[in-house]
Amino acid sequence: MKYDYIVIGGGIVGVSTAWQLQQRFPDKQIVLLEKEAAYSQHQTGHNSGVIHAGVYYAPGSLKAKFCKAGVAATLAFCRENDIPFQQCGKLLVATTPLEVERMQVLYKRCHDNGIDVQLLDAAQLKAEEPNIVGLGAILVNDTAIVDYRLVTTRMAERFQALGGHIRLSHEVVALEETSEYVRATAKYNGQRVTFDGEFLIACSGLMADRTTRMLGIETDFQIIPFRGEYYQLPEKYNDVVKHLIYPIPDPDLPFLGVHLTRMIDGTVTVGPNAVQGWKREGYGRFNFSFRDVADMVRFGGFWRVLKKHFRTGLVETKNSLWKPGYLKLVQKYCPQIRVEDLQPYPAGIRAQAVMSNGDLVHDFLFAGSPRSLHVCNAPSPAATSAIPIGDYICEQVLSRQSSGGHE
């Protein structure tokens, strides 16, 4: 089968990219390959559904740029496609004098990034959220919630309506590149199917490093999975907060901390934490993959990042195994929640790119060859930013094809 473009990955970034390519080139033949039988089965479908405003990201970074553009683009897409969303806002709550200092730094960063925020004192916080305690808070007005699986499905429908092709249940198992074409070999119903294209774009998330290796692209990173474990609160807590409630994050740690999230279905979740994952697609309570673990332990960056964050990792693991420890992370700003209120909820897996020196990659990371472009790290807020990311990828593809002499 011959195509102009092959896109790997049925998460929101891959689908957004395919859809936008088809908009730009209505006469081109574009196919999207997804190994699962439905869209959004991994990172896109296992997050808290937040449309982020971009509070935390360094001014000038791709994350800050994409997120700011992504909020407007995502809300516009939802309105155009009758997708329910709620612009409920978010409160970042400071509960200690140290967190108040960090809150002031974050408040300045919000202004540097052009984000609509208000600084609240303790009394104003209490007026906004009677069930939340703290010394102050940042109110982020632009934050919203949505069902990203539905967003992705609508994008896929738009892509197909323009003439795009989607092949679900097609797991890419081999890639080959020549001066004339790039070939993807996929497994489907026990058979091998080949797809030839002029150019390939890989948005393979948790498998990003393995996809680059299929083409022999030299990189200095590996995907290390981190589990984000959630709980759901009982129905009686559905109105416990009006906003999303986040802690003030520790700038020395790579993750944001446990928060209360109003979901689009009306329920409230608690989480996520961040614990070492032992299986890239392990969403159950106990998960282990010999292949995934073998890849990690052979990678020097894994041991270096483990050493850098050893103490934090121990605390996160303890709180994962001991529910009262997890609960304390929530009670510091919502003391009425009890341990019996933490009910089971599916976990998520964060595909974290780690460099060989042990550094976590905090921004977007790309790799490529003459006929391919690979999204190697698409960290949160990738779902929020999927439309501008897709546009950026399209520009990068055109630039690579132009410089490589490909049409």
Looking at the predicted structure, is the pLDDT value of residue 134 above 60?
yes
Looking at the predicted structure, is the pLDDT value of residue 350 above 50?
yes
Domain CATH number, residue 13: 3.50.50.60
Residue 264 belongs to a domain: no
Of all helices (H) and strands (E), which one includes residue 149? helix 148-161
Residue 179 belongs to a domain: yes
Looking at the predicted structure, is the pLDDT value of residue 293 above 70?
yes
What would the mean pLDDT of 303-308 be, rounded to a whole number? Answer: 94
Residue 8 belongs to a domain: yes
The tens digit of pLDDT for each residue in 351-368 reads 999 999 999 998 889 999
Higher pLDDT, 80 or 63: 80
Predicted local distance difference test score (pLDDT) of residue 404? 64
Burial (Cβ within 10 Å: 0-12, 13-18, ≥19) of residue 316: buried
Lowest mean pLDDT among 129-138, 171-180, 277-286: 277-286
User: Reading across the β-sheet that carries 221-228, which strands appear in turn?
Assistant: 275-276, 221-228, 348-355
Q: 396: left (phi > 0), else alpha (psi -120 to 50), else beta?
A: alpha
Looking at the predicted structure, is the pLDDT value of residue 222 above 70?
yes
Residue 234 belongs to a domain: no
What would the mean pLDDT of 319-338 be, rounded to a whole number? Answer: 94
Lowest mean pLDDT among 24-28, 62-66, 131-135, 288-292: 62-66
Residue 155 belongs to a domain: yes
Taking alpha carbons only, the member of 82, 137, 61 closest to residue 363 is: 61
Predicted local distance difference test score (pLDDT) of residue 54? 86
What would the mean pLDDT of 136-146 be, rounded to a whole number? Answer: 96
Looking at the predicted structure, is the pLDDT value of residue 253 above 90?
no
Please say whether the dihedral angle defined by the alpha carbons of residues 89, 134, 248 and 253, taken in this order, is positive or negative: negative
Confidence at 254, pLDDT banded by 50, 70, 90: low
- In this prediction the pTM is 0.94
Residue 281 belongs to a domain: no
What would the mean pLDDT of 124-142 be, rounded to a whole number? Answer: 97
Structural domain span for residue 79: 1-86+146-220+356-407
Confidence at 407, pLDDT banded by 50, 70, 90: very low
Residue 141 belongs to a domain: no
Instruction: Name every residue whose Cβ is closer than 8 Å to that of residue 157 and which is 6 or more positions away in sequence.
Output: none
What would the mean pLDDT of 322-346 be, rounded to a whole number? Answer: 95
Residue 79 belongs to a domain: yes
Domain count for the chain: 1
Chain centroid offset of residue 110 CA: 21
The tens digit of pLDDT for each residue in 95-115 reads 999 999 999 999 999 988 889
- Give the C-alpha separation, 334 to 257, whole Å: 14
Predicted local distance difference test score (pLDDT) of residue 60? 81
